[in-house]
């Protein structure tokens, strides 16, 4: 838990949210002790939080195992964000058009901390190696959409995000040297799009372009998935990069006209 001395800061709310965030694909169900450990709170606090969340319908306890799990009601919070996000509404028709033009899966991601979060996705009928549902998070430093976003920031801000990242080698292709990553970001700035060549997942490549606000600040990134089973990166750059750039520009123009 954070050590926040602000008198307006509600630590009980912080603990309740920590309990919700503790559940994941790796921890789909948990008992009280596991919840306390995962949320980094005391067992008595975990008991109060889980009881409240259960009463509100966000958590339920299995009658046989007595283990807790999230309920579909949790999705209401994320849905409300997407429903209120004007950028998603604006981007959807352009992402659909890009998917049709390229024949590949297209995505919109927005920044959150050191990650990019999937907020819209149009899945191609062809096979894609990695399933990334809405709400999935990917690190900025080793992904096309992350580097596209970083390319729109002032250099000191981008460097600060890179220095704060937990940089690790996800595949044999992952760039782990900050100077090398910075060089890729500089390439992105010059050509208008970012590349990812299997740095996060093997078989998964992407071309991405930043979406800028009317103030010229990056607010999101659009990217198209390029399975290595169907494309070489060089061929994809030649055939798909112009469409990705145009999609990002069209979304940017539409945002400005709102």
Percent over 70 (pLDDT), the chain: 98
Q: Concatenated DSSP letters for 119-174?
A: EEEE--SS--S----TT-EEESTTSHHHHHHHHTS-HHHHHHHHHHS----SSTT-
Whole-angstrom CA distances from 194 to 11, 38, 114 are 40, 36, 17
State residue 129's pLDDT score. 84
CATH no. of 11-73 = 1.10.10.10
pLDDT at 149 over 70: yes
Condensed to tens digits (0 to 9), the pLDDT of residues 74-84 reads 999 999 999 99
Condensed to tens digits (0 to 9), the pLDDT of residues 14-58 reads 999 999 999 998 999 999 999 999 999 999 999 999 999 999 999
State residue 36's pLDDT score. 96
State residue 5's pLDDT score. 73
**Crossing angle, helix 43-56 and helix 11-22, to 10 degrees?**
80
State residue 126's pLDDT score. 87
- Where do the structural domains in the chain lie, given as residue ranges? 11-73, 85-256
Condensed to tens digits (0 to 9), the pLDDT of residues 210-234 reads 999 989 999 999 999 999 999 999 9
State residue 179's pLDDT score. 97
Output the average pLDDT for the chain.
95
Work out the widest C-alpha separation in the chain, in whole angstroms.
59
Percent over 90 (pLDDT), the chain: 91
Condensed to tens digits (0 to 9), the pLDDT of residues 196-211 reads 999 999 999 999 999 9
pLDDT at 128 over 80: yes
| Edge-to-edge strand ranges of the sheet holding 204-212 | 137-139, 115-122, 106-112, 218-227, 204-212, 194-197
pLDDT at 3 over 70: no
State residue 7's pLDDT score. 83
157 neighbors 220 (Cβ within 8 angstroms): no
The yes or no reply on domain 85-256 and CATH 3.40.190.10 is: no
State residue 258's pLDDT score. 58
Q: What angle do CA 105, 110, 114 make, to 5 degrees?
A: 115
Say whether 12 sits in a helix, a strand or coil: helix
Element (H, E) at 225: strand 218-227
* Better-scored residue on pLDDT, 7 or 166: 166
pTM above 0.75, yes or no: yes
Q: Quick one: pLDDT band at residue 156, thresholds 50, 70, 90?
A: very high
pLDDT at 127 over 90: no
């Amino acid at each position: 838990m954070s050590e926040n001395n602000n008198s307006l800061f509600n630590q009980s709310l912080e603990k309740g949210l920590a309990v919700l965030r503790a559940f994941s694909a790796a921890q789909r169900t948990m008992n009280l002790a596991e919840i306390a450990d995962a949320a980094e709170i005391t067992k008595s606090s975990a008991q109060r939080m889980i009881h409240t969340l259960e009463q509100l319908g966000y958590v339920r306890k299995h009658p046989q195992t007595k283990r807790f799990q999230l309920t579909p009601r949790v999705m209401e919070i994320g849905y409300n964000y997407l429903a209120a996000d004007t950028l998603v509404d604006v981007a959807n028709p352009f992402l659909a058009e890009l998917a049709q033009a390229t024949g590949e899966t297209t995505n919109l991601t927005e920044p959150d901390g050191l990650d990019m979060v999937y907020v819209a996705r149009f899945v191609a009928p062809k096979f894609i190696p990695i399933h990334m549902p809405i709400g999935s998070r990917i690190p900025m430093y080793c992904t096309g959409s992350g580097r596209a976003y970083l390319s729109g920031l002032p250099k000191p801000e981008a460097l600060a995000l890179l220095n704060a990242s937990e940089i690790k080698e996800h595949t044999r292709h992952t760039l782990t040297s900050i100077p090398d990553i910075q060089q890729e970001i500089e390439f992105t700035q010059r050509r208008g799009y970012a590349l990812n060549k299997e740095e996060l997942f093997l078989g998964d490549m992407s071309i991405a372009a930043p979406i800028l606000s009317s103030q010229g600040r990056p607010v999101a990134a659009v990217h198209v998935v390029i399975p290595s089973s169907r494309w070489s990166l060089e061929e994809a750059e030649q055939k798909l990069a112009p469409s990705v750039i145009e999609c990002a520009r069209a979304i940017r123009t539409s945002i400005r006209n709102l």
